[in-house]
Structure 1
Amino acid sequence: MNDEIRKENDRKKLFLWSYQDAIRDVSRLEIRLREVKQMRIIPAFVADGMPHGSGGTGDLSGYAAQLDSLERRYLKARYRRIRQLKAVTDRIEALTEQREKDVLTYRYILDMGWEEISVKMKYSWQHVHRIHASALRNLKM
């Protein structure tokens, strides 16, 4: 395989993996959002031996600003995920060969491993790779 074809295939794979990247972005933001909300519910215990006021909730403006910022980033990430799914699936569905569509969908949308795809499609691992190579050749960017 010459360098030009390899670079083109790498570019196509990067595009196809962009949906999984978007999923991971959303997941990380969900974790951060849960952590920020949990930190507000369970205040930190300060064991420094110094007297502290009781019953006060402290300043909520910083917390509210942080929560609002995270929620906005989360919504943008979810919207990006939806856009990436549409972009990737539109390109995959434009292929004419059904087996190529299946391999790309299993690999890049469902994030399945090669062995899992082989079993699902009832093809050898090598044959699945040949279908994948053909699908990358036929994928229009």
Structure 2
Amino acid sequence: MGGKGLTETEQKKEYLKEYEKAVRQMKRSEEKITEMRLSKIMPSAGNDGMPHAHNNTDLSGYAALLDEEERRYMKARYHRIKLCREITDKIERMDNEDEKDVLMYRYIRLMKWEDICVKINKSWKQTHRIHARALNNFIV
């Protein structure tokens, strides 16, 4: 793990946060492809409000761009899914169920601390103690 100047615990947190980052990147890529498709189906109208002829005869350039983007998306998606699975597997391999729960709720489900406390029926202080212990026991 990289991260110059980060403590081991901070490095573990950064690694766990990679899950959220991967999910966000996948969503952005999906949105980009959807926008590309929609822009070709419903091209934007001119500002004068009058209909204009569109050159829809040559879609090969568009199709090639869309195909390239979809291939790039699928390749990146595969790597992101693999990373997400790796992170969840490492959490699941932990021995303590409370520690697993706290890491899953915080880094995979992206729950707020207050909600985690309610979910596991522990005080704020106990929850953070479990979190600290979980990070200490988490193996990257």
Deviations 1:21-52 (A, max 9, x none): 1100010011111110000001232357xxx6
Matched-pair contact (CA < 8 Å) for 1:33–1:71: yes
Q: What is the aligned partner in structure 1 of residue 92 from structure 2?
A: 93
Opposite residue 20 of structure 1, the aligned amino acid is E
Q: What is the aligned partner in structure 2 of residue 40 from structure 1?
A: 40
Deviations 1:65-121 (A, max 9, x none): 221122112212321232112211121122111100110011111111111111101
Q: What is the aligned partner in structure 2 of residue 18 from structure 1?
A: 18
Rounded Cα–Cα distance in structure 2 between residues aligned with 1:35 and 1:16: 30
Rounded Cα–Cα distance in structure 2 between residues aligned with 1:79 and 1:56: 35
Secondary structure, aligned partner of 2:43? coil
**Superposition RMSD in Å:** 2.3
Opposite residue 28 of structure 2, the aligned amino acid is R
Matched-pair contact (CA < 8 Å) for 1:115–1:125: yes
Q: What is the aligned partner in structure 1 of residue 3 from structure 2?
A: none
Matched-pair contact (CA < 8 Å) for 1:118–1:125: yes
Secondary structure, aligned partner of 1:37? helix
Q: Which runs of 5+ in 2 are unaligned?
A: 1-5
Q: What is the aligned partner in structure 2 of residue 117 from structure 1?
A: 116
Q: Which runs of 5+ in 1 are unaligned?
A: 1-5
Provide the aligned length of Structure 1 versus Structure 2. 135
The Cα of 1:58 is off from its aligned counterpart by 4.1
Secondary structure, aligned partner of 1:119? helix
Once the two structures are overlaid, the 10-residue window that deviates more, 73-82 or 17-26, is 73-82
Q: What is the aligned partner in structure 1 of residue 58 from structure 2?
A: 59
After the TM superposition, which parts of structure 1 deviate over 6 Å for at least 4 consecutive aligned residues? none
Normalising by structure 1, we get a TM-score of 0.85
Normalising by structure 2, we get a TM-score of 0.85
Q: What is the aligned partner in structure 2 of residue 75 from structure 1?
A: 74
Secondary structure, aligned partner of 2:7? helix
